[in-house]
Amino acid sequence: MNSNDTVIFYRSPSTLLVLSVIGLVLFMMFDLLGVPVGIIGMYGTGVLGEGARDQDLVDLSFILRLLSWLGQMALFIYTPICFCMLMYRCAKNARAIGFHGFKYEAGWVVGWFFIPLAYLWMPYKAVGEVWKSSLDPADDPLESDWWYLKNGILFNAWWASWVVGTLLTNISSRMSRSTSTVEQLGMILTPFGALLQVAAGGLCIMMIFKLTKRQDCQARRVFTRDAIIENEAPHGD
């Protein structure tokens, strides 16, 4: 999947950034409902408290989980679309600035998120290319060896918390619909999955802020340099 994309114009992702942050913040708010869901569920199933099952609390836990799920479903189209559009724009911008040597085309930076199982790893590599190119301070991207850079703590923490949080949330949701010990374990895992999802949202916001800011700085530096070189070039009569 070698990319030979040629992009003429750089487009600032600032609008897509704002839209993505709004969606992520709203998603995090509904994720937070997972904390009281788990705590109330643990009391209801007897993990906490007197050890006796309280069906009223179990039902309340179910209602809160349902509200969280409905809220996320309402955002399930808006937030991923905004985020994917932002990642696609940043992938194109990296090429517009002049970086080359990408293994994954701009479309695959988004596409890998929608392929079962592959979404657990391949987006890390594809989005990671765009992220690493943004870390390069070189004035001349054509001379850059950006692909040797490391993703760093922020990017890795975002990805790890998103993957683990997503898995824990899905597992705990299935287990909480079971019976006895399995149900109790599902309730225990629920707050941890929710907190990891919230952490992933916060780290994602930090990541996309840094990514877009760095790309804007790169664009100003490179395009200003190119304009100076063009003005200084000898012109024929």
Q: Which two tokens stand for residue 123?
A: 């987006």
Least confident residue range of 71-80, 81-90, 117-126, 204-213: 71-80
Indicate the Cα dihedral angle 147, 136, 210, 82, nearest 10°. -50
Strand ranges inside 186-229, DSSP E: none
Residue 180: pLDDT band by 50, 70, 90 thresholds? Answer: low
* Residue 46 pLDDT: 72
Residue 107: pLDDT band by 50, 70, 90 thresholds? Answer: very high
* Residue 31 pLDDT: 86
* Residue 212 pLDDT: 96
Residue 5: pLDDT band by 50, 70, 90 thresholds? Answer: very low
Q: What gap in Å lies between CA 30 and CA 138, rounded to an integer? A: 41
Instruction: Give the residue with greater pLDDT, 36 vs 225.
Output: 36
Cβ(96)–Cβ(7) under 8 Å? yes
* Residue 237 pLDDT: 45
* Residue 113 pLDDT: 94
Q: Rounded to the nearest 10 degrees, what angle do helices 180-232 and 34-45 cross at?
A: 170
Cβ(178)–Cβ(210) under 8 Å? no
* Residue 134 pLDDT: 94
Residue 101, Ramachandran bin (φ over 0: left; ψ between -120 and 50: alpha; else beta): left
Q: How far are the Cα atoms of 37, 69, 73, 74, 89 from residue 30, in angstroms, in the given order? A: 11, 8, 10, 11, 27
pLDDT at 190 over 80: yes
* Residue 174 pLDDT: 78
Segment 33-82, tens digit of pLDDT: 888 888 887 777 776 767 677 778 878 888 888 888 888 788 888 999 99
Q: What is the model's pTM? A: 0.83
